[in-house]
A and B are shown apart, each in its own frame.
Chain A
């Protein structure tokens, strides 16, 4: 597969960029996220995490259980500011 194939569609990060960071020491999905922003877009890794895990396994000869997924954080779906912050703007 060519290195210019897109892996993270939201942030448009390619296979080549991910492989390059693995060579520089990245070992987990979160390491790749920090170094490339893959997984930081709108879908928060829902599409690309599994691809990133596979790439790390291949490059570092690891089995899937050795490649830990990224942290899950709220909100798990996008939520508007005014829904999240409603009712807290009453002045004291």
Chain B
């Protein structure tokens, strides 16, 4: 009778991070993945490791804590995942944006984060190919990017060396609880039944399905994002670049509207540029609620291309070679669910990271490691605040 300390459902970035940290702590772990590792959202995203787009306060603390862990991971893992830390840049289009940006930067600097405003000269010096009318920017030092799929394989391979059992091309069919509503076993599509003390639902946009198996309703919705891949060409930008205008709503200026075409607005298109190690680059990204549909919308592709050219006119003669889409696991209050479930002993949820899964994977892995093992809390974020902000019970109202 196979017995594990923990069974992780979902072999994406979150699942593999948890697998790594649990096996590092000496636990006997199985990872169940319905296709191959990283075949879900983790291979349809970009490689963000940012604090740029986080609200001041716990949002930023959580992301920053995760960023710090990335430094160590590069050394601990055997397989390269293109970790590049060059910081990130916000682009500012208008005076209104500048004012909000300054408030944001001052707040973050008070909290100890290394970032600063960039005036016209500074931002154009840093990014010479930028459109002339961009008035300034924000420079955020700790931001980085990685190649997400490589990180998944990297974490998984080290975890396998530590003793992880991976069941790929296998689905979870059922989860059984014992009389005391404690996790007992997991039934797989290959007919095996594996017994375990803990189950971690790291199934991303499919987490609600895994929740139904134990009778709980997990409010995660798929939010489609599209990206464009450009051909290998000369260097357009040195580092991660994001437009600030889209963030105005996030930072409290709910009445601000960018001067953009309707197509860009209604598809939630916000310019984001990511250079890659492979020397082509990624342009993103959009936001639409279309269920689990991953088909590309032509309008969105056009909107992404148009918005990118607005910031970097030099893109006009460069080729787009592919479009792709991914489903972000969206939670209404923009925080993931990294939590035990009170009514079911041994059942944990680690899902709902929306667009921050890659960046928050390390800290998520460590939090779950902390919940399940006897290790004392060694993270820079406050334990009680973490438990409460990321709890499943906060969403039950």
Seen from chain A, the residues whose Cβ lies within 8 Å of a Cβ on chain B are 11, 24-28, 30-31, 34-35, 37, 40, 42, 44, 73-75, 78-82, 84-92
Contacts and interface: CB of A to CB of B under 8 A. Distances in A.
Most A CB within 10 A of own CB, among B157, B298, B301 = B301
Contact of A27 (B36, B232, B309): B36
A80 B324 CA distance: 17
Contacts of A30: 36, 39
Nearest to B153: A35
Contacts, number: 106
A81 B278 contact: no
A13 B322 CA distance: 19
Contacts of B157: 24
14 contacts: A24-B153, A25-B168, A28-B36, A73-B324, A74-B296, A74-B301, A81-B308, A81-B315, A81-B318, A85-B303, A88-B263, A88-B305, A91-B261, A92-B262
B219 interface: no
A85 B166 contact: no
A31 B321 contact: no
B43 to A, nearest CB: 5
Given A27-B36, A35-B149, A81-B305, A92 B260 contact: yes
Contacts of B43: 34
B36 A25 contact: yes
A42 B310 contact: no
A90 B261 contact: yes
Interface residues of B, number: 45
A42 B321 CA distance: 7
Interface in B90-149: 149
A81 B259 contact: no
Contact of B319 (A24, A31, A80, A90): A80
B322 A85 contact: no
Contact of A79 (B262, B308, B320): B320
B304 interface: yes
Given A34-B38, A42-B321, A91-B259, A11 B278 contact: yes
Given A25-B37, A31-B36, A92-B262, 7 more contacts: A30-B39, A74-B323, A80-B320, A81-B305, A81-B308, A85-B306, A88-B306
